Structure formats: structure tokens, C-alpha cells
Amino acid sequence: MADNEILLLHLGGLGDVCLSESVFLSLRDHFGNRIVAVGTKRFFRLFPEYFLRIHGVESRHWLYLFSNEATSIRWKRVIFIGKDRKGELRRRWQQVSLDPMIFIDMYPENQFGVRRSASEEKPKNDYHVIHAEEYQLAQLAQFGIEAVKKEIPWRKSRRVILYPEKGFEKEKWEPEHFAALCQSLRSRGVQAYMMVPDSLRAVMPDAISIDSLNDARDFFKGGGIFVSSDSGMAHLAGASGLFTITIFTDHDPRIWHPRGANISLKRGEDQFDRETIEKIILDSL
């Protein structure tokens, strides 16, 4: 590595990386083409224009970042976008950063942010609700870095892409609801596509299944509307210029909604049966 290279660490998932694109842009504009990204390589490769090089954190080369052993490796500056509640990672990584390390907290602590009615008393430990992208950008000023927000125009077209998932850690709107919505849209002459992850390929063999995230992004270049539960793919669709309609069952959409043109529906607050979502789609078209 050169003495003037900047090491950027981001260990988040697909959605987290998509939400940080504006920070990548701001950092690139400030530091120039000196940023070496380390994290999940297939996520970073969706945004190659911001980085000098991209590396996968799983490589043995990066073990020194997580070891208690002393190392002689130094970077001009280390930037970490993530969560570090106890400051342990910052203390560790400052040791390999010649200049003071930059830490960008990934999201506000009220990540599940339960909405309240206006009549309810605001608890003392309540946090200001702010979208994750804005929250990250607001932290750049303390490091003398100008925040530049990446604007995402809607790629308008008549396509509607429906993306069901099985719920594991998060509850999801059931795949059969997506199938019924797709059938109803097609009966109305709408150009509707079912796109599924590997976990649903066997039960929906006629749906589009795309293995590569770069191929998915190429598919999204055709524009349109993307309907899904809260997922990393929804964030990629939003970052690619699709109008997203996202169903949230756990997290607060005010913090976690995809970037770009979007509508979010929240369990317990909004109605999201097939008829309601179909009407939103048809009105948007």
C-alpha cells in the first residue's frame, strides 16, 4: 500500500452498503482516488467508481485488523462505517491509521423506531428519527468533509417487478400474496415480472432468478416499479433508479426505506393487502 492510501472498512450487508453510497461519493470527492475498500466484495463491486481497489474482508491478508498482535502495517487514514458501541474497533484500528481515524455510525439507535400518536408522551430516551443516509451524511462535517448526496432519478417505465422472499430473521409478506398480485396485474395488461432469490427458485420455477448482483443491477436499468418486503434487493433496486414499494414488518421505514422514489408500508399502521398495493402500483403507472 502507498503511504497516502485511505482504508475504508464497511462490514454491512447489501442494504447497508447501498445506503452508504452518498458517503462513498462524499469521501471520494474529498480524498480523491485513494480509497481502498474492504468488506463484502460483491457488494462493493456494485459501486466501483468510488474506490481505487476493492478487497474481500474474508481474505487472510486482513487478519491483522482483527488480531491483538502488533502490526507494522499503516494507512494514511482509516475510515470505518458501521457500529462500534464500545469503541473497541476504533481503538484497534486507530493503531494502523497515521491520521486520526474517521468513524461514521451506520444508523441511529432507534433502529426499530416505534411510531407514536401525537397524544402520547415522548419518552426521555427517544431519539430524533432520521433516515440512515441523512444520519451518515450529517456526521461528515465534524471531519471537515462536505456531504454530497447522490441524487437518484426514477427510471420510469411500465415494468413492475415483484420480489418475494421467505422470512427468516425478519417477517415477510408471504410469496403467495406476490403471486396473486402478479396474476392480477397481468390480467389488467400490466407488464409484471416475478423475480425470486435462490430460496424460492424451486417453488416458483417460472420466475426470473438472477444469480449475480451485477446482473440484477443490469436488469434494473430497464426501470419501473419494484415491490418487495424490506430487503437488501429493495435497496439495490432503489439505488438503481426503480420506484420502490416496500413492506416493512419490523424496522421503521423512516430510517430504513430505500433511497430514490419510494413508498413504504408499515405493519400495524398501513394497509398492505393485495388490492391496496395494486392500487398504488396502478396509480404510480
Beta carbons of 226 and 245 less than 8 angstroms apart: yes
DSSP 173-219: --HHHHHHHHHHHHHTT-EEEEB--GGGTTT-TTSB----HHHHHHH
Cell representation of residue 19? 445506503
Q: How far apart are CA 63 and CA 53, in angstroms?
A: 18
Q: Give the pLDDT of residue 267.
A: 87
- Whether 47 is covered by a domain: the verdict is yes
Among 115, 143, 171, the domain-final residue is: 143
Q: Residue 193, Cα to own-chain centre: how many angstroms?
A: 22
Q: Give the pLDDT of residue 1.
A: 57
pTM reported for the whole predicted model: 0.91
Please report, rounded to a whole number, the percentage of residues in the chain having pLDDT higher than 90: 79
Among 143, 171, 204, the domain-final residue is: 143
Q: Are 256 and 138 contained in the same domain?
A: no
How does pLDDT run along the chain (285 residues), one tens digit per residue?
567 999 999 999 999 999 999 999 999 999 999 999 999 999 999 999 999 999 999 999 999 999 988 899 999 999 999 999 999 999 999 999 999 999 999 998 865 444 433 334 444 444 468 999 999 999 999 999 999 999 999 999 999 999 998 865 566 889 999 999 999 999 999 999 999 998 898 888 889 999 899 999 999 999 999 999 999 999 999 999 999 999 998 889 999 999 999 999 998 898 888 999 999 999 998
Q: Are 16 and 92 contained in the same domain?
A: yes
Among 87, 115, 143, the domain-final residue is: 143
Q: Are 139 and 260 contained in the same domain?
A: no
* Residue located via cell numbers 450487508: 13
DSSP 156-177: --SEEEEE----SSS----HHH
Q: Which residues contact 282 (CB under 8 A, 6 or more apart)?
A: 188, 190
Q: Give the pLDDT of residue 119.
A: 39
CA nearest to 37, candidates 15, 60, 12: 12
Number of domains in the chain: 2
Render pLDDT for 80-128 as a digit per residue (tens, 0 to 9).
999 999 999 999 999 999 999 999 999 988 654 444 333 344 444 444 6
Domain limits for position 220: 159-284
DSSP 117-129: -TTSPPPTT----
- Whether 123 is covered by a domain: the verdict is yes
Q: Are 183 and 113 contained in the same domain?
A: no
Q: Are 174 and 251 contained in the same domain?
A: yes
Q: Are 106 and 183 contained in the same domain?
A: no
**CB burial string 98-135: b at 16+ within 10 A, e below:** eeebbbbbbbbebeebeeeeeeeeeeeeeeeebbbbeb
Q: Are 177 and 137 contained in the same domain?
A: no
Q: How far apart are CA 264 and CA 44, in angstroms?
A: 26
Q: Indicate the DSSP class of residue 259.
A: S
CATH number, domain of 238, equals 3.40.50.2000
CATH number, domain of 94, equals 3.40.50
Q: Indicate the DSSP class of residue 262.
A: E
